[in-house]
Amino acid sequence: MGIGGYSVCPGTIRLHIVDGPRVDRVIADRELERWIGEIRREPDVPLSVEGLRAPRFRPKGPEVAAVTDLVVGSALQCPGRLYSIGIVGAPFVVYVHGGGFVFGDLESHDRACRRLAVEGEVNVLAVDYRCAPEFPTLAAVDDVEAALDWLIGHHAGAQI
């Protein structure tokens, strides 16, 4: 039984091309088009959490001037990633990934942050906040506050 171009079989996911040339013409995102082409050339992938987390299922976003993994906050030591576009005086955006405070991380939203940086001409600080159920829901709020404090302390006078 097919679901949106995918055929779900026990233990595998298969991507079937449905009228490929017509579908390819409507894809406006060239990065995504290249990624879909790569996926189509790959053999069946085991249906598992690890298989779905594989880099091949996360297309890389556009290049930015610099990407730096760092630790933000003094006491909380929250992981973060700074996407710098290399434009002096460019404003900063603090990116808090989706996931309902339960899932998501720096890797799951890397492409979104890269695109935001390039297309918005902004530097992006992504925060890898602590998720439930391992931590209370409000721990995420503390992590984001720590990231904002870190950004203000390290980039005084920046537009945030």
> Residue 79 carries which side chain, given as an amino acid letter?
P
Q: What is the pLDDT of residues 16-75, one digit of tens each?
A: 444 444 444 444 566 667 766 766 666 665 556 565 555 555 677 899 999 999 998 766
Q: What is the mean pLDDT of the chain?
A: 76
- Residue 101's Cβ-side half-sphere holds a number of Cα atoms within 13 Å equal to 13
Which residue has tokens 């989706």?
A: 98
pLDDT at 125: 96
Q: What is this structure's pTM?
A: 0.66
Whether 127 contacts 78, CB under 8 Å = yes
* Domains of the chain (ranges, CATH numbers): 2-57 (no CATH), 66-154 (3.40.50.1820)
Looking at the chain, the whole-number percentage of residues with pLDDT higher than 70 is 62
Mean pLDDT, residues 111-136 taken together: 92
- What per-residue confidence (pLDDT) applies to 5? 44
112: buried, middle or exposed (CB in 10 Å: 19+, 13-18, 0-12)?
A: middle
Q: Which residue has the higher pLDDT, 13 or 105?
A: 105
Q: Given phi > 0 = left and psi -120 to 50 = alpha, else beta, which region is 5?
A: left
CA distance 50 to 151: 33
